[in-house]
Structure 1
Amino acid sequence: MVKTKLKKGDPVIVIAGKEKGKTGKIKQIIRGSDPNKVRVVIEGVNVGKKHVKHIEGVREGGIFEIERPIHISNVAYYDEEKGEKVKIGIRIREEGNKIIKERYNKKTGETIDQIYEKEKK
């Protein structure tokens, strides 16, 4: 399993491809059988049309707009306050008798969020 520094609900910006420059939040992370094929679905980005056939009693037919997945290497975490992309790091801090694992901004050193906190043995 590939460990990604991004997770569901994170604001991201597309850094490559035809959707370059668009921003949105991650709706879903799709992990393939190959560890290098991790893709993300982002709200309002890479929207395509899907033609759906009518099935009696189940669904209406028609043309629907759906968000298609993008490879995770083509997106970066987006700092909404500063309006720029950010490199994320993971660090482990010891505070008293607690061990805290957190994500942080590599440039400024600010903590983005905590992954977990547990007691030291």
Structure 2
Amino acid sequence: MAALKIKKGDKVVVLSGKDKGRTGEVLKAMPKDQKVLVSGINVAVRHRKPTQAAPQGGLERKEAPLHVSKVAIADPSTGKPTRVRFEVQDGKKVRIAAKSGEKIDG
């Protein structure tokens, strides 16, 4: 299983599904499951009964994980989806946007 090329804090574009074309920030990366959690994307709604902790009950909206193949990193210059390649610069391994050639890591 290969390591993810997407990290927490990256801006990503959704490539398929009900949220296709939308962008968001990665809240959590789960390399073992090959999934990512993206803010405001793939929101699941759960109906909750009133409890002592939450006496009101009601609807609970929460982001559900997406498979990493359904998202791509947003190009830093254009915001469009791009693939990622790695280069060694000044002895450090950095991520480069394949479309524009810009560095993704700060």
Q: TM-score, normalised by structure 2?
A: 0.84
Unaligned runs of 5+ residues in structure 1 are 115-121
Distance (Å, rounded) in 2 between the aligned partners of 1:74 and 1:48: 17
Unaligned runs of 5+ residues in structure 2 are none
Distance (Å, rounded) in 1 between the aligned partners of 2:54 and 2:87: 48
What does the per-residue CA deviation read over 1:68-100, in whole Å, with 9 as the maximum and x for residues that have no partner?
A: 11100000001254131111111123x4xxx21
Deviation beyond 3 Å, 4+ runs, structure 1: none
What does the per-residue CA deviation read over 1:16-42, in whole Å, with 9 as the maximum and x for residues that have no partner?
A: 12211111101111244xxxx311111
Point out the structure with max Rg over C-alpha: 1
Determine which of 58, 62, 70 is the counterpart of 1:62. 58
Partner of residue 6, structure 2 = 6
The CA RMSD over aligned residues, in Å, is 1.9
Q: How many residues align?
A: 105
Q: Is the 8 A contact 2:14 2:23 kept in 1?
A: yes
Specify which structure has the higher proportion of strand: 1
The 10-residue stretch of structure 1 (10-19 or 45-54) with the greater mean CA deviation from structure 2? 45-54
Partner of residue 42, structure 1 = 38
Distance (Å, rounded) in 2 between the aligned partners of 1:46 and 1:80: 23
Amino acid in structure 2 at the alignment position of 1:10 = D
Percent of aligned pairs with the same amino acid: 35
